């Protein structure tokens, strides 16, 4: 109505008045045009953008470091698709309750090069890796102390490299950039990624000083990389002195990002569903009453999935909307020591490992997330397994339960294939897809490096092998 009134008023003006109004409008347009020729009128300072000169100073070092930590949280467990959800989907922790092929194909073990949802996680993980390396170098000259700040960046760099090795196929290139140019990397084998990660964890440890977060987080990370290389004795040595009560977390808040496990499995018509006994080989994560296994806290609900075929979606209660994520715990350190001891292959070793598993259960350890207290459990009934494969199965079940929804499960399943030489079809979900999905599982055990990586002329696709 206001616009119509203004038009009518303009039309009611005399011819002379209309001419005067048009002249004023023309002058305004001319002034605007002249102003466009003078850049000073349109130049503004955007406080949200850091230019190279801004962050290569002591004052700029802190936001640069915080930005890398934010990227790491986003890649690891921030939002619906993150490292913990896509790897849990390929393993047996989660099921895609979705209509998007990107998530359904991963769950069906039919990983493909063109996958928008999976590519997004890959990109952020690579950005975290390159950002951490670059920031660590800048801090060395711009803000060299405290040393632990640089150590934390090396720790994040190493975890990012290790996660790329655990989640994606062999052949991931590690490119680099300096703010002005990109140097394309060569494809790296899975073992090469783990070896590099272990070396960068050493760099973090050298700078950790007395910072418990960096010190213990890097010890566990290095041991995890060494486990993936089959270096069990070295892995056990790496976690010496890590307190069982320790926990390394990512940070989430209303000002940053939501917790990925919550977003993916518990929020509204979620894209993922908590899974149990998936595809013949999957563990019965939800096989007991919801209150029977405190390491896997969940409740029933009437929610439907993003695909309405999925009803009564279980709710995990380990993580809330803004609960900190869990990267590593002291329980993992004890389980690494147990796995190393088990390599002796004797009954005495199996007995000792069985006792250590019960000591961890009855002594209590953190699982992180919404639970702030240590979880205490009854001892495992009976006696130690007498067959080595059964002892390995028991250990890996305990690992899966202690570290549920923390991004460990796919790496564990791949290690059973790579290091223990088990057939992948005896380890991964297989056979008929879980109802209401139709068809059968494929044979993928990794996520395929996205097609966009072929912008790097050195990259020709995934390398053969695990």
Q: What pLDDT does 290 receive?
A: 63
d(CA 304, CA 267): 10
Cα torsion angle, 247, 251, 253, 259, sign: negative
Q: Phi, psi (5° rounding) for residue 177?
A: -150, 150
d(CA 279, CA 287): 14
Task: Measure the CA dihedral 406/277/96/320, to 10°.
Answer: -40
Q: What region, left, alpha or beta, does residue 248 occupy, with left being phi > 0 and alpha being psi -120 to 50 degrees?
A: beta
Task: Show the CA angle centred on residue 129, arms to residues 126 and 130, nearest 5°.
Answer: 90
d(CA 348, CA 20): 102
d(CA 25, CA 22): 5
Please name every residue paired with 94 in a beta bridge, in sequence order, or none if there are none.
274
Q: Is the peptide bond before 436 cis (omega within 30 degrees of 0)?
A: yes
Q: What pLDDT does 41 receive?
A: 53
d(CA 329, CA 368): 8
Q: What pLDDT does 50 receive?
A: 58
Domains observed in the chain: 55-271+294-345+406-434+443-455 (1.25.40.390)
Q: Quick check: 311 and 133 in contact, CB under 8 A? A: no
Q: How far, CA to CA in Å, does 98 sit from each of 37, 74, 305, 446?
A: 52, 21, 7, 20
Cα torsion angle, 323, 328, 330, 332, sign: positive
> How many of the other CB atoms lie within 10 Å of CB of 391?
22
Q: What pLDDT does 400 receive?
A: 98
Q: What pLDDT does 416 receive?
A: 98
Classified as helix, coil or strand, 336 is helix
Give the distance, in angstroms, between the CA of residue 190 and the centroid of all CA atoms in the same chain.
18
- The structure tokens listed for 413 are 């399943």
d(CA 30, CA 368): 64
Q: Is the peptide bond before 306 cis (omega within 30 degrees of 0)?
A: no
With helix as H, strand as E and coil as C, how does 251-287 read? CCCCCCCCEHHHHHHCCCCCCEEECCCCCCCCCCCCC
Give the distance, in angstroms, between the CA of residue 59 and the centroid of all CA atoms in the same chain.
29
Please name every residue paired with 187 in a beta bridge, in sequence order, or none if there are none.
173
Q: Quick check: 111 and 446 in contact, CB under 8 A? A: yes
pLDDT along the chain (466 residues), means of 10: 38 44 47 52 59 74 92 95 97 96 94 90 96 94 94 98 97 88 94 98 97 98 98 98 97 91 95 96 85 89 95 95 96 98 98 98 95 91 97 98 98 98 97 92 96 94 84
């Amino acid at each position: 109505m206001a616009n119509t009134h203004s038009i009518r008023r303009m039309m009611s003006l005399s011819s002379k008045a209309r001419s005067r109004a048009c002249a004023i409008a023309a002058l305004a347009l001319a002034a605007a045009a002249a102003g466009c020729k003078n850049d000073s009128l349109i130049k503004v300072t955007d406080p949200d953008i850091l230019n190279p000169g801004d962050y290569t100073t002591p004052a700029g070092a802190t936001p640069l470091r915080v930005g890398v930590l934010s990227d790491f949280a986003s890649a690891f467990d921030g939002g619906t698709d993150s490292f913990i959800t896509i790897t849990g989907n390929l393993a047996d922790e989660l099921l895609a309750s979705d209509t998007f092929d990107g998530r359904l194909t991963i769950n069906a073990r039919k990983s493909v090069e063109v996958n928008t949802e999976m590519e997004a996680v890959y990109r952020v993980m690579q950005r975290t890796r390159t950002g951490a390396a670059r920031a660590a170098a800048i801090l060395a000259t711009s803000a060299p102390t405290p040393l632990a700040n640089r150590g934390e960046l090396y720790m994040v760099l190493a975890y990012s490299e290790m996660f790329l090795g655990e989640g994606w196929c062999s052949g991931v290139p590690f490119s680099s950039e300096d703010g002005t140019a990109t140097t394309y990397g060569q494809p790296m084998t899975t073992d090469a990624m783990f070896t590099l990660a272990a070396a960068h964890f050493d760099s973090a440890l050298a700078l950790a000083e007395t910072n418990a977060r960096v010190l213990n987080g890097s010890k566990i990370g290095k041991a995890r990389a060494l486990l993936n290389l089959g270096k069990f004795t070295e892995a056990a040595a790496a976690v010496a002195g890590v307190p069982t009560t320790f926990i390394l977390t990512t940070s989430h808040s209303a000002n940053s990002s939501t917790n990925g496990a919550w977003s993916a499995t518990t929020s509204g018509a979620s894209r993922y569903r908590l899974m149990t006994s998936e595809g013949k080989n999957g563990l019965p994560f939800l096989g007991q009453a919801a209150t029977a296994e405190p390491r896997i806290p969940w409740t029933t609900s009437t929610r439907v999935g993003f695909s309405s075929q999925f009803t009564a979606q279980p709710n995990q209660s380990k993580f809330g909307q803004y609960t900190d994520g869990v990267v590593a715990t002291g329980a993992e350190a004890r389980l690494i020591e147990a796995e190393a001891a088990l390599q002796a292959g004797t009954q005495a070793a199996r007995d000792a490992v069985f006792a250590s598993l019960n000591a961890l259960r009855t002594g209590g350890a953190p699982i992180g997330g919404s639970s702030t207290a240590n979880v205490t459990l009854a001892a495992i009934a009976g006696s130690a397994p007498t067959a080595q494969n059964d002892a390995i199965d028991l250990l890996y079940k305990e690992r899966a339960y202690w570290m549920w929804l923390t991004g460990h499960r796919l790496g564990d399943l791949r290690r059973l294939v790579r290091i223990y030489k088990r057939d992948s079809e005896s380890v991964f979900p297989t056979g008929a897809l879980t109802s209401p999905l139709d068809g059968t599982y494929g044979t993928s055990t990794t996520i395929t490096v996205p097609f966009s990586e072929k912008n790097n002329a050195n990259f020709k696709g995934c390398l053969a092998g695990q």
